[in-house]
């Protein structure tokens, strides 16, 4: 979007940096020290064997592995080399909060940032204002709403049906996601056996195993149990994905003040150590694996002892995390943003949502999620999802760059208005105002007492009306009947599988 003689700042807008290059290096050095001196508990014999083969110091009896510095640096170097290879087929992996990208990208403010919803919430706050356990009908309506909202680029499962048996719940949810939308935003995976069925569903959608490997639309991911524990189930999940040729990261969620130091630098060091341990393991499983690194840090709220997804203190922590992962390690990704600790829509939710969207974007995140959540990501709200969609639109306009060119400097319009004149009826104003201004029915400019300007619940009423309108409309599956039948057959097979109970 560059005119001759002009420039758009959005292409290379510098992100807000909280850390210097030297400080990033110190955090990395500390992470390497943690892995070398303390190591990790890896409660999985096969994983320990892989780490042993990679050059780690493994104690099979205690299920501990220590990672020599050179082993860690070798894995990082391999990851960066792979990202620079333009011929690599797997470029990205959708996760619940956006995406992880497995190729080299400039570290900048991304005007085209993505917005994601999902998160497998157990509860829903309905449009009737009542909170309850989510059911299969809620899953379908939440996916329908997410599919129709224009700012939502990716959706996982906004809610998970609690009336579906837990053993097959992940597979059933993956099937519902595949049949409802093309906005695939990742899937939660709770055991290795899930992966067999979820991968097959993805293959039906993509048109084959190789097509799904190249462009994975349904990929679970593993999480470390911080501090420094990779349990048997998550090790199984990580290894099973890699053995199928699917991309992976080992996500870390260090909780400052509870499972990590009450300092941003210490928390980031711990998170980096944990995810780098997963990187080493991934390349030990498959030397040609598509691997990245990931951290989702937060502070423990000392009043409630909850992991805080929002809060002013989390903004610099997220910004530093984006720098560390995207700039220092070269693994571009989104981040957990658009969050609130509030239990209901309102002033706290609005402030926390807006700041936790705008902050990460200005710090260089390629996207954020998962929106539509309340209660610290425990409860999903269709009303809040519509509100978040509008906040995201607001943020997108806020980070749009300033174009400087002959036409935008617009000397002729200034000349025509002259001294003391106006530009209200100029051709330039008529041509540009819809592109320049965010003329949203949600964010308006009314004088006191006009219209519904004094209605304190005006925004929520508009959002509820919009949600009802979208949910009342027709919706068609993006799949054909043959694909739907094939997916239903996979779900039925999973239901008969004794290993899924």
Q: In total, how many domains does the chain have? A: 2
Residue 85 CA to residue 88 CA, distance in Å, equals 6
126 part of a folded domain = yes
Pair (363, 430) in one structural domain: no
User: 């170097």: which residue's tokens?
Assistant: 77
2 part of a folded domain = no
Q: What is the model's pLDDT at position 501? A: 83
Last residue of a domain, one of 378, 398, 418: 398
Pair (394, 425) in one structural domain: no
CA distances from 217 to 91, 157, 211 (A): 12, 13, 10
Q: What is the model's pLDDT at position 202? A: 95
Last residue of a domain, one of 398, 423, 450: 398
Last residue of a domain, one of 437, 458, 488: 437
Pair (363, 412) in one structural domain: no
User: Is residue 459 within a helix (H) or strand (E), and if so which, with residue range?
Assistant: helix 458-472
Pair (415, 267) in one structural domain: no
Per-residue pLDDT of the chain (501 residues; tens, 9 = 90+): 333 333 334 457 899 999 999 999 999 999 999 999 999 999 999 999 999 999 999 999 999 999 999 999 999 999 999 999 888 878 888 888 888 999 888 899 999 999 999 989 999 999 999 999 999 999 999 999 999 999 999 999 999 999 999 999 999 999 999 999 999 998 888 899 999 999 999 999 999 999 999 899 988 889 999 999 999 999 999 999 999 999 999 999 999 999 999 999 999 999 999 999 999 999 999 999 999 999 999 999 999 998 888 999 999 999 999 999 999 999 999 999 999 999 999 999 999 999 999 999 999 999 999 999 999 889 999 999 999 999 999 999 999 988 899 999 999 999 999 999 999 999 999 999 999 999 998 998 889 999 888 999 999 999 999 999 999 999 999 999 999 999 999 999 999 999 998
Residue 110's CB is within 10 A of a number of other CB atoms, namely: 20
Pair (28, 162) in one structural domain: yes
Pair (358, 422) in one structural domain: no
Pair (315, 415) in one structural domain: no
Q: What is the model's pLDDT at position 320? A: 97
Pair (308, 418) in one structural domain: no
497 part of a folded domain = no
Pair (307, 412) in one structural domain: no
Q: What is the model's pLDDT at position 7? A: 34
Q: Where are the alpha helices (DSSP H) in 309-381?
A: 314-322, 347-362
Pair (361, 426) in one structural domain: no
Residue 241 CA to residue 282 CA, distance in Å, equals 10
Q: What is the model's pLDDT at position 4? A: 36
Per the structure, the complete domain to which residue 232 belongs is given by: 11-398
17 part of a folded domain = yes
Q: What is the model's pLDDT at position 1? A: 34
Pair (427, 354) in one structural domain: no
CA distances from 115 to 108, 152, 302, 456 (A): 17, 5, 30, 27
300 part of a folded domain = yes
Q: pTM here?
A: 0.94
Pair (423, 394) in one structural domain: no
Q: What is the model's pLDDT at position 467? A: 97
């Amino acid at each position: 979007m560059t005119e001759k003689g002009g420039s758009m700042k959005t292409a290379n807008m510098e992100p807000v940096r909280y850390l210097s290059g030297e400080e990033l290096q110190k955090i990395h050095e500390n992470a390497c020290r943690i892995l070398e001196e303390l190591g990790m508990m890896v409660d999985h014999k096969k994983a320990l064997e892989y780490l042993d083969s990679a050059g780690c110091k493994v104690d099979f009896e205690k299920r501990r592995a220590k990672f020599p510095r050179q082993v860690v640096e070798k894995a990082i170097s391999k990851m960066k080399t792979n990202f620079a290879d333009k011929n690599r087929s797997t470029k990205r992996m959708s996760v619940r909060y956006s995406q992880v990208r497995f190729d080299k990208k400039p570290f900048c403010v991304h005007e085209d940032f993505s917005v994601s919803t999902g998160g497998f919430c157990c509860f829903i706050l309905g449009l009737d204002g009542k909170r309850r356990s989510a059911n299969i009908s809620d899953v379908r309506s939440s996916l329908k709403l997410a599919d129709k909202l224009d700012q939502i680029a990716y959706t996982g499962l906004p809610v998970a049906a609690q009336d579906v048996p837990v053993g097959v719940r992940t597979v059933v949810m993956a099937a519902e996601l595949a049949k409802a939308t093309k906005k695939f935003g990742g899937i939660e995976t709770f055991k290795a056996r899930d992966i067999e069925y979820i991968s097959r569903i993805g293959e039906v959608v993509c048109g084959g195993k190789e097509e799904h490997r190249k462009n994975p639309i349904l990929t679970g991911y593993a999480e470390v149990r911080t501090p420094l524990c990779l349990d048997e189930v998550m090790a199984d999940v990580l290894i099973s994905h890699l053995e199928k040729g699917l991309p992976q990261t080992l996500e870390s969620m260090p909780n400052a003040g509870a499972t990590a130091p009450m300092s941003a630098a210490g928390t980031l060091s711990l998170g980096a150590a944990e995810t780098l341990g997963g990187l080493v393991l991934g390349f030990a499983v498959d030397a040609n694996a598509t691997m990245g690194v990931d951290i989702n840090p937060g502070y423990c709220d000392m009043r409630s002892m909850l992991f805080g997804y929002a809060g002013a203190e989390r903004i610099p922590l997220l910004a530093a995390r984006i720098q560390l992962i995207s700039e220092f390690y070269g693994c571009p990704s989104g981040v957990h943003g658009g969050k609130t600790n509030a239990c209901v829509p309102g002033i706290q939710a609005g402030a926390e949502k807006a700041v936790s969207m705008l902050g990460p974007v200005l710090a260089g995140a390629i996207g954020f999620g998962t929106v539509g959540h309340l209660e610290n990501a425990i409860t999903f709200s269709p009303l809040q999802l519509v509100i978040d969609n509008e906040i995201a639109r607001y943020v997108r306009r806020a980070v749009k760059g300033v174009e400087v060119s002959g036409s935008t400097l617009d000397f002729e319009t200034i000349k025509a208005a002259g001294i003391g004149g106006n530009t209200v009826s100029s051709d330039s104003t008529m041509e540009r105002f819809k592109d320049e201004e965010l003329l949203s029915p949600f964010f308006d400019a009314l004088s006191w007492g006009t219209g519904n300007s004094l209605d304190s619940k005006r925004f929520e009423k508009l959002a509820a009306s919009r949600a009802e309108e979208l949910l009342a409309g027709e919706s068609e599956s993006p799949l054909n009947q043959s694909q739907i039948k094939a997916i239903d057959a996979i779900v039925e097979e999973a239901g008969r599988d004794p290993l899924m109970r």
